Amino acid sequence: MNQNDPIRRVSVVSTGHVQIRPDHLASTWRPTAWWLLASRRWTGPLPINAYVIEHRDGLVLFDTGQDRASVTDPGYFPGAITGVLYGRLARFEISPQQTLSAGLDRLGYAAGDVRIAVLSHLHQDHIGGLAELSHADIMVSQAEWDTLSSPLPEMRGLMRRHIDLPGLRWQRIEPEPTGDPDLAPFQACHDLFGDGSLVLLLTPGHTPGSMSLLVRRPGRPPLMMVGDLTYDAHLLQSGHVPGVGSRHRLREATAMINTMRQRDPGLVILPAHDPEAASRLVQATGQAPTLATA
């Protein structure tokens, strides 16, 4: 390992696959309620990725994937009309080998090795591994945490009973002003270890408190893990935003990421559900493939 590089390895764990509506993947003129209720089409299977960063100060996760109980426990999702809407929005396929713990094990880690788990946001397919991480610090933006107390959280994809679990060590992040020119146009950030290698940036739009993680290593292309700011790096590059969330704020956050890309064309975009993200990561890091899937 480069002695000036605090990061030994960056990997990705797949916790199953999801299919969504085409209007969800890329916004159209149709309002969300329209396509959610009327669409009969699904995308092909998309991965449900969690990223794993081995830093010299501890193992870090960016997102924790989908809980397999969502496909095995009939009571996992809300009932009544809310449950119907969940079923219209997405459908999942998760094998017994696609839990977060199993994926970490295939990479040579244990769930108990995780020091920090950063959640891009609090939707189900990003918080599914929380029950396995009672020993870790769980980081979420304060703005995202506040959405749990807003009216009708389950109607907005927030199932508190799967999020606010007993014994979890939550840290609610408020980014601080930064003068780092390499982060412009972002004016605030949260530096995980104080060494500039792992930097959290607010990228709201999909949810009010969504965050992205910038990974910087000497001599390697920077990585931007963007959660659900986009489902496809090519769509982000073209400025096309998803169909769920505040389109105005999604466009703002997308434009900020693209400004960074224009300054540094090597910036590698790693969404949570992009089928090409794993191969893009391998190419950027020069590592042997480390997609922990079954």
Q: How far apart, in Å, are the Cα atoms of 292 and each of 11, 98, 120, 121, 132?
A: 8, 9, 20, 22, 17
Instruction: Give the ranges where 92-141 is alpha helix by DSSP (H).
Output: 100-106, 124-127
**φ/ψ (deg, to 5) at 207:** -135, 165
- Residue 286's pLDDT band (boundaries 50, 70, 90)? confident
Q: Give the start-end residues of each E strand in the chain.
A: 7-20, 46-55, 58-62, 90-93, 114-118, 137-141, 169-173, 176-177, 188-191, 198-202, 211-215, 223-227, 268-271, 291-292
**Is the pLDDT score of 116 beyond 80?**
yes
DSSP, residue by residue, 174-226: --EE---GGGTT--EEEESSSSSSEEEEE--SSSTT-EEEEE--TTS--EEEE
- Tokens 């995202």 appear where? 144
Q: 122-135, pLDDT tens digit by residue?
A: 999 999 999 999 99
Give residue 291's pLDDT band: very low, low, confident or very high (50, 70, 90): low
pLDDT classification of 292: cutoffs 50, 70, 90: low
**What average pLDDT is seen over the chain?**
95
pTM of this structure: 0.95
Quick one: what percent of the chain has pLDDT higher than 70?
Answer: 97
- Give φ, ψ of 205 to 5 degrees: 145, -60
Q: What is the pLDDT of residues 126-167, one digit of tens each?
A: 999 999 999 999 999 999 999 999 999 999 999 999 999 999
How much is the pLDDT for 275? Answer: 97
Higher per-residue pLDDT: 121 or 4: 121
Is a pLDDT exceeding 90 seen at residue 109?
Answer: yes
pLDDT at 293: 53
Cβ pair 181, 245 in contact under 8 A: no
CA distance 196 to 191: 6
Mean pLDDT of 258-287: 95
Q: What is the pLDDT of residues 199-254, one digit of tens each?
A: 999 999 999 999 999 999 999 999 999 999 999 999 999 999 999 999 999 999 99
Q: Average pLDDT for residues 50-64, to the nearest whole number?
A: 98
Grouping H, G, I as helix, E, B as strand and the rest as coil, residue 72 is helix
Band (287; pLDDT cuts 50, 70, 90): confident
Query: Are 122 and 138 a contacting pair, CB within 8 Å?
Result: no
